[in-house]
Structure 1
Amino acid sequence: MTNYLTTDTGRRIAYERLEGQGPGIVFLGGFRSDMQGSKVVHLRDWAAAQGRAFLRFDYSGHGASDGVFEEGCIGDWAADARAAIEALTQGPQVLVGSSMGGWISLLMARTIPDRVAGLVTIAAAPDFTESGFWVGFSPGQREALMRDGRIALPSEYGEPLVVTRRLIEDGRDQLVLNQPLSLPFPARMLQGTADADVQVSWAMDLLDHASGEDLRLTLVKGADHRFSSPDCLDLIVATIEEVVQNVRE
């Protein structure tokens, strides 16, 4: 059942929550994704079968939440995530971050470390507004973005993707790879080698940059950015179970 949380910023966030044993699992979705995706539904079903607490939600401008996607930015969506975690869960949680959700999970580790018990990232895309969008733009695209406040890019996922100046400029305030990144809990990173959106080198950079005593990166040959084949879904579940088992009491 979909419920709604109104955050301190006034944004109305759609969420679904399962009560159960802890540590609970919080799924952080990707850019332009929603909580009805195949990965999160699979994990919801697994959590229900396990009797484990589970939270999924849509960032503002995504899915069933209020707001306009093109008006949002990483800082807004990170604030949504923090509000959901603080209001809708109890105690430290295992965060599962997919793509942009991987970036947001790292921001949660930085801003509310006492609420993070463990971390699983799937094709994590930290700092992608800078290292992906901005770096990849031509001089003409950069000029148009700064002049007009937005540009439209073709997308294989449907409608053209509008990238705004606000998204880029706010993204620079949310970077995690330009400063120390402590992950003092079990952290597992999953990455496909056939991912056309997130390079394997990004996963390696994240592993090299982060500090912690229990960090591992798993590369899956041939897996794409969706990372939602039956084998990939099984691997995500097994990885979460491993993290849960290694969470410090």
Structure 2
Amino acid sequence: MHRAPARGTPVPRDDRESDMTDPAYLSTPQGRRIAYRRTEGDGPGVIFLGGFKSDMKGTKAVALEDWAKREGRAFLRFDYSGHGESDGEFTAGCIGDWAEDAEAAIEALTKGPQILVGSSMGGWISLLMTRRIPDRIAGLVTIAAAPDFTEDSMWAGFDEAQRTALEMVEQVALPSEYGEPYIITKKLIEDGRNHLLLRAPVPLPFPTRFLMGTADADVDLSVAHRLMDRATGPDIRLTLVKGADHRFSTPECLTLIEDMVMQVSAAIAER
């Protein structure tokens, strides 16, 4: 499970990179307007799914897009509603909403089976996609995947005063080293319970690579082991990087992410 200090531990946003291009926008079936950037190329396409309160300008998303352009691969990055350049308020959203955003982006903006690359909360969202639209998933790479973090980290880490505040005013503020506090809503916690994954087997019948840093202070190493235990499939591997933190954005880590996508691509081609 996540490390859960008394005050709770949100999953931080990625490092940020500059991006001068204007995004395009997609209106989802639910009426939300989400921003995206798409690179044309060969398939299977690669889709980056970002973390909690992160956005598509993060270091990993931009680096993976650069890799896709060099390799001539189709690539998509996008912001969930209430994140980055998408419309909506962050505090109005929840795991179910952001999963709907991801599904809409995959269905409307890509063709054929895709390789999902999910970072932190994006790992949870990408795993949900393997259940919702399995015919659109060719392979999976996760980076510090954080399935079930609303329950196993946030709720489990709340003290009695925080739980009371959540019931009475339906939100609680958690400190963040990234600036303003995170506002965690009752909706986020309750909706998260409708999407828990680690209480049952997680079928992954395609090439799958889990990446995890041993110095991650936000997602406990036991989460990766628990996910590995729950995952079922013919080609699933977990790679631990000694000393890597939750950002997983050093040049060496970025290269490893690219290597894992290429490894998954090669395994798909051999099937």
The aligned residue for residue 86 of structure 2 is: 65
The aligned residue for residue 96 of structure 2 is: 75
Aligned partners of 2:126, 2:181: CA distance in 1, in Å? 26
The aligned residue for residue 16 of structure 2 is: none
Aligned partners of 1:78, 1:126: CA distance in 2, in Å? 12
Aligned length: 249
Alignment of 1:32 with 2:53, yes or no, is: yes
- Could you list the per-position Cα deviations for residues 114-139 of structure 1 after superposition, in whole angstroms to 9, with x for gaps in the alignment? 00000000000000000010001112
Shift of 1:156: 1.2
Q: CA RMSD in A?
A: 0.8
Which runs of 4 or more aligned residues in structure 1 lie more than 4 Å from their structure 2 counterparts after TM superposition?
Answer: none
Aligned partners of 1:179, 1:204: CA distance in 2, in Å? 14
Please give the residue correspondences for 1:136-147 in structure 2 after superposition, counting only pairs within 5 Å.
Answer: 136-147=157-168
Shift of 1:180: 2.5
1:100 counterpart letter in structure 2: M
Taking structure 1 as the reference length, the TM-score comes to 0.99
Aligned partners of 1:159, 1:210: CA distance in 2, in Å? 36
- Structure 1, gaps ≥5 residues long: none
Identity %: 66
Alignment of 1:184 with 2:205, yes or no, is: yes
Aligned partners of 2:197, 2:231: CA distance in 1, in Å? 9
Alignment of 1:95 with 2:112, yes or no, is: no
The aligned residue for residue 131 of structure 2 is: 110
The aligned residue for residue 174 of structure 1 is: 195
Please give the residue correspondences for 1:169-248 in structure 2 after superposition, counting only pairs within 5 Å.
Answer: 169-247=190-268
Aligned partners of 1:238, 1:141: CA distance in 2, in Å? 42
2:69 counterpart letter in structure 1: A
Shift of 1:247: 1.1
Shift of 1:226: 0.3
Shift of 1:140: 1.6
| Secondary structure in structure 2 of the residue aligned to 1:247 | helix
Higher relative contact order (CA 8 A, sep 6+): 2
- Could you list the per-position Cα deviations for residues 53-84 of structure 1 after superposition, in whole angstroms to 9, with x for gaps in the alignment? 00000000000000000110000000000000
- Structure 2, gaps ≥5 residues long: 1-21
Taking structure 2 as the reference length, the TM-score comes to 0.91
